[in-house]
Structure formats: structure tokens, C-alpha cells
Amino acid sequence: MIEVEALTKRYGSTTAVDGLTFTARPGTVTGFLGPNGAGKSTTMRMVVGLERPTSGSATVAGQRYADLPAPLHAVGVMLDTRSVHPGRTAYKHLLAMAQTHGIGKARVREVIAQTGLEPAAHRRAGTFSLGMGQRLGIAGALLGDPATLILDEPVNGLDPDGVLWIRRLVRDLAAEGRTVLLSSHLMHELALCADRVVIIGRGRLLADATVQEIVARSERAGTVRVRTTEPEALARELLAAGAQVAPQDGGALQVRGVSVDDVGTAAGRCGATVLELGSESGSLEEAYLQLTGDAVEYRAAGTQGGAR
Amino acid sequence: MSATSTTLGTARAAAATRPGPTFARLMTAEWTKLTSLRSPWWVAGVTVAVAALITYLSAQASSGDPGFQPLDSLPSGLILAQVGPLVLGVLAGAGEFRTGAFRTTFTLAPRRWPVLAAQALSLTAFALATAVLATAACVVGLMPAVASRDITVDLTAGDTPGVLLGMVLLLVGLALFGFAVGVLLRRTVPAMLTALFLVLILPIVLMMASEPMVGGADTASLSSPDQVEQVGVLGTLVVASPGGAAQLMTTPASFGPMPGSPDLGPVGGGLVFGAWILVLLVAAAVRLRTRDVR
């Protein structure tokens, strides 16, 4: 269980995290989502005690991280692939981690096998690809068999095999009753493995809901798309029936407030030939872009209008 | 991945007591970390080799003198070899921060300062072994010159045991000094330059500045003995600087003080240098404890 309450971090005049409150519960995968620079990593660093909050609190299993008697057994942490000395082999890195908590070599070999690192175990971490580095980070997080896992962008740099592996791993870990907090800037990635999604932008909470709830918030969700030979006539007919109509390219209309059946019937009434008709479900990606649209800190100048 | 749940389940049951990072465990881990890198071994090897080589060359050069005293050449090998432990210390201290490995280290031991103590102790052990070997290498380096002149040397007589001990402690101290500067500054290059400046360059600058000629004294007063004996501010600064104090550790007590400096002797020099190390380590610990690590 991770509880973050009114967490705030300021560096001089910039506010990296601004009054953030959310809870990651046992048995669920909580996705932590936001554009680059939104404050995800800063929040995670505060949760594990590397940085001190300006105000607010973050606790793991009801305790401040710094007060945990055995952090490695309580929380598995993977913050950044650059948390390993590049001159040390994967095995020695994990062994030194294990030794701080009196964990034996057998367990080190176990997590190496579990993360598929055997062929690279005795290579220096500096020679690793991004994907191998991620596996090493995850091996370190699993080492203490913790009830809570905090993984910062674990999918970054993994090949398709690795991505599937991670999804299954976090699902399995949550199914065992563990708390998993998983950050990403890729919405669709979290849609596939997270139960709940906490979305932040510019350090503030934008949404904290289940994946389905967030999809439902998409502007497109619940609308009907229809393409016809007589868009104007159909639009008049639909407006008369109390629908909201937005004309789109190629004679298509986006209709809100009526069902697919209603649109089909209306087309029949005004004699418009329907070329295409269907309800739209919206996507997580869209909902995410709408939520974070105003909160993106870095954006290419040219895409400013087009991205909306 | 059906094995995942079972292995995790068994491990969880086995680790029922789940004790945390005790100091002994941190020591074990830090020793593993230090010795699993290649650079400490390289630096140690080069230090020992350079100590032997420079002592050999220095003894050979002075063996032609009629009053050749082989044991006077003993600490000469350290003039260059002392850079080794300094580099070792800086790399050990700043390396964690340079590479980001500190994130792993301090999430495992969030109280942080016990890690610093464990790192300092592991480094001390490693540096002590290196220092003993380097000092032995200096003795070995002396032997060809000794043999060529048919002189016998007695390492147990006079100032020699003190000098040998001073050499070992100097090298260990330099490693700790470099370590403290490395942890404090957290970046390898600035830490390396700072440590080298404080230990090697600053004493020379102060010594040159304390020369009476530079101070504008007239030549007549130079010849008067009491002028030479006088302890000056700059002369005091020389032996109070970390490098100046450290060099006293290998200067035999019977040599007396440097002109214009208070007579600290090898023990006094060692204490001043030790105090510098302690102050820097405490400063590093305070910074580590009170500031964020990013």
C-alpha cells in the first residue's frame, strides 16, 4: 500500500509536484501516467526517501520509507536504469544489494533466472542494452520479495518479448496480493496491464480512476459516426431530433446525444444514402491527450495546433 | 512464468523474520562493491609499481654520493605513488554519485550515514593492504642501490620503523581524504582536482610564499640565525594544510621542523591530517543526511 497525501516538491521557484494525493492499493496494478516532466519520477523518488517533500507526506505500508526496518523486503524499487555502477557485473550488483539485507546467493541466482539475465549475469552492467538494464532493475526490485513494487518506466527499451513478460509479471505480482505502482508516459501500455490509472500533469493530479472510467471520459466516447451522400440534409434532420452534430471530412458527421438506431432512422427519413455508420468507443489514448493537453510542459512548436 | 508465484511464495515464507541493513551487512556489501570494480585493483597495482620504481630510481641517483644513506631515499617513492590512494579515494567517494548507483545504495539504507561509514571502513581496509604493499615495494626498490654499495640497512633501527609506519598511514590517510572530498563534491573531476590541489599544490604554494625573499625581507636579516628560527604565519599554514601536515608523517622526527614552521613532528602532522579527514567526512555525512540525493 502506497499512500501519497498532499505531496509537494519545489525546487526554488519551480514546483515539480503540487499537492498530489493518491493511493496505490494491494492486489492492484496502479498505473502512474503523465507526460515527460510531469513529476512522476520526482514523486517516486520522494516515496522512497531519496528526496524530501517540501510539504505533504508519502508512506509505504503506513510508514515513512526512511522508517522501514528492512526497506528491501518492504518495497522493491526500480527508479532508473542509471542506478547501477556500469563497472560492476549484474551478479555482483545484485549480490551487494542482497548482502545489505542478509539475503543469500541462492536468491540472487533465483531473480537472475526469473528475469532472464543468466547469459549476461557476469557481464559489466555498462555493456548492457536498455532492455537488459531494465531486467537488471526489475531483478533488484524482486530481490527482497517485497509486498510493494515501485517501477519507473519498466517497459522503456524492452523488446516485444520483454514487454509481454513485464505485463504478465506485474499482473502476477498483483494477483499475489502485492501493491504495484508502475509509471509510464505511454497510455496504451498501461491500458493493457493497469487496474487503476493515476494521471498527473505539471505535478498536479488530473485523474485517478479505473481504465474504463477514463475511456468513458473521452470526447469521442458514446458518439456515432455516420458518412452519407447528403450530410447537410441528415445534419438538419438530426438537429431537429435534438442531437449535437459536428461535420467532419469526407461527408462524415459526428453525432452526440442519439443512438446508432436513431441516426439510421433519421437517414431513412430524409432519404440520405448511408455509406458508413457506427458507434464510437473512444480510446484511452485520446482521453489521456485531452486530460494532459494543457499540462504538457515540452511540446514541439509546430504541433501545438495539430495535436488537439 | 508459472514458476514466478511459487518461487516468490517460498522466498516470502523463508524470509519471515526479514531483518534489515545492520552495519555488518552494509560492510559486507560495501566490500563487495569496492572489490567488484576494476579501477581499485588497477590503481592499487600502479601505486605499488610506481612506489618501487621511483624509490629505485631515486636511490640509484643518490647512490653515487659519498655520504649515501639508503634509508633517506625510502619515502621518495611516495612522491608520485601518493597520488594513487588519493585517486582510489576520490573514485570510491564520487563514483556512486557519478554513475547514479547512489539511488540503489540509499534506497537500501535510507539512513545513509551508516553507508558512508561502511564505505570509509571498506576503503580503509583496501587502502591499508595497498599501503603495506607499496611501502614494502619502496624497501625492495632500495635494495639494488644498497647491494651495489655493499651497505647493510637495518629497518628496525632509529627513525626507520616510524618512517615506515608513517608511510603506510600516509597512504591510507590520502585514500580517506580523497574519499571525503569525493563524497562531498559528488563529481569525479572537480573532486580529483580539489584533492590534488589541497594535497600536492597548496603546500608548495604556501612554502614558496613563506620564503623570506618573497616576503620582501632584506638579505642582511636572512643570515641572522634567529630570523630563520622564527615561526611565521605562512610557515604555520604550510603544516596546517592537509598536504603539508601529511608530508610530516614520513619525515623522521630527528629532522626537526621546516624553517619557519612549528615543530609538529610526524605524530603531530598525522593528527592534523587526521583532523582534516574527520572534518571533511563529517561535512560529507551532514550533506548526505540533510540534502536530497537526486
CA distance B119 to A294: 47
Q: Determine whether the interchain pair B95/A86 forms a contact, defined as Cβ–Cβ distance below 8 Å.
A: no
| Owner of C-alpha cell 602532522 | B269
**C-alpha triplet B189, B194, B196: angle, nearest 5°:** 95
Q: What is the pLDDT of residues B20-30, one digit of tens each?
A: 899 999 999 99
Domains of chain A with bracketed CATH: 2-209 (3.40.50.300), 223-280 (3.30.70.100)
Contact A100 B100 (CB under 8 A): no
Q: Residue B13's pLDDT is what?
A: 42
C-alpha distance from B171 to closest chain A C-alpha (Å): 25
Q: What percent of chain A has pLDDT above 70?
A: 94
Distance from the Cα of B91 to chain A's closest Cα (Å) equals 12
Say yes or no to pLDDT of A89 above 90. yes
Best of A9, A82, A85 to mutate (most B CBs within 10 Å, chain B):
A85
Q: Could you read off the pLDDT of B235-261 as tens digits, one per residue?
A: 888 888 898 888 888 888 777 777 777
Rounded to 5°, the CA angle A156-A158-A159 comes to: 140
What local confidence, expressed as pLDDT, does residue A251 receive?
A: 81
- pTM score, whole prediction: 0.84
- Helix (H) / strand (E) element for A279: namely strand A274-280
In a domain, B52, yes or no: yes
CA distance A283 to A294: 19
CB pair distance less than 8 Å for A86 and B99: yes
Q: Chain B contacts of A82, Cβ < 8 Å?
A: 99-100, 103
In a domain, B153, yes or no: yes
Test B28 with A51 for CB contact under 8 angstroms.
no
Distance CA B47, CA A90 (A): 28
Please give, rounded to a whole number of angstroms, the shortest distance from the CA of B42 to a CA of chain A.
Answer: 13
Mean pLDDT, range A109-117, rounded to an integer: 95
Partners of B20 on chain A (C-beta within 8 Å) are 68-73, 101
Nearest C-alpha neighbor of A168 from the set B10, B8, B4 = B4
Name the residue facing B294 among A51, A65, A173 (closest C-beta): A51
Question: Which residue bears the cell 531473480?
Answer: A111
Whether B14 is in a domain gets the answer no
Nearest CA in chain B to A46: B292
> Is position B167 within any domain?
yes
Task: Provide, as residue numbers in chain A, all residues whose Cβ is less than 8 Å from the Cβ of B104.
Answer: 83-84, 93, 97, 140
Q: What is the pLDDT of residue A27?
A: 94
Query: Is residue B182 included in any domain, yes or no?
Result: yes
The CA-atom distances, in angstroms, between A266 and each of A262, A270, A281, B21 are: 6, 6, 21, 72
Q: Distance (Å) from the C-alpha of residue B29 to the closest C-alpha of chain A?
A: 4
- Rounded to the nearest angstrom, the minimum Cα separation between B143 and chain A is 38
Which residue of chain B comes nearest to A53, CA vs CA?
B292
| Confidence tier at A128 by pLDDT (50, 70, 90) | very high
Q: What is the structure's pLDDT at A296? A: 59
The pLDDT, as a whole number, for residue A300 is: 52
Closest chain A residue to B102, measured at CA: A83
Tell me, what's the pLDDT at A150? 96
Give contacts of A140 with chain B, Cβ < 8 Å.
104
- Indicate the angle between helix axes B265-290 and B113-149, nearest 10 degrees: 150
Residue B12 is assigned to a structural domain of this protein: no
Question: Which positions of chain B have pLDDT values less than 70?
Answer: 1-17, 211-231
Among A90, A174, A94, residue whose Cα is nearest residue A133: A90
CB contact under 8 A, B107 and A144: no
pLDDT for A36: 83
Are residues A107 and B110, on separate chains, in Cβ contact within 8 Å?
Answer: no
Angle of helix B113-149 versus helix B23-35 axis, rounded to 10: 50
What would the pLDDT profile of A290-304 be if each residue is shown by its tens digit? 777 765 555 554 444
Res. A216: pLDDT tops 90 = no
Distance from CA of B53 to the nearest CA of A (A): 29
For residue B287, the chain A residues in CB contact (below 8 A) are none
| Closest chain B residue to the Cα of A70, Cα to Cα | B20
Chain B residue whose CA is closest to A99? B29
pLDDT band, very low/low/confident/very high, at A147 (cuts 50, 70, 90): very high
> B-chain residues within 8 Å CB-CB of A77?
107
A13-22, A202-211, A277-286, B166-175: segment of lowest average pLDDT: A277-286
Question: Which site among B6, B10, B12, B18 would you substitute to test the A interface, given the most A Cβ atoms closer than 10 Å to its Cβ?
Answer: B18
Name which of A173, A180, A176 is nearest A197 in CA terms. Answer: A180
Pair A51, A10: CB distance under 8 Å: no
Contacts of A23 (CB under 8 A, 6+ apart): A1, A2, A3, A4
Asked, for residue B174, whether it belongs to a domain, the answer is yes
Nearest CA in chain B to A87: B37
Tally of domains in chain B: 1
Mode of pairing for the β-strands spanning A75-78 and A148-152: parallel
Q: Please judge whether B292 and A52 are an interchain contact, meaning their C-beta atoms are less than 8 angstroms apart.
A: yes
Domain coverage including residue B43: 22-290
Nearest to A75 by CA among B4, B30, B20: B20
Question: Which residues of chain B lie closer than 8 angstroms to A59, CB-CB?
Answer: none
Gap from B119 CA to chain A (nearest CA, Å): 12
Establish if B16 belongs to a structural domain: no
Positive/negative CA dihedral, B197, B200, B206, B211: negative
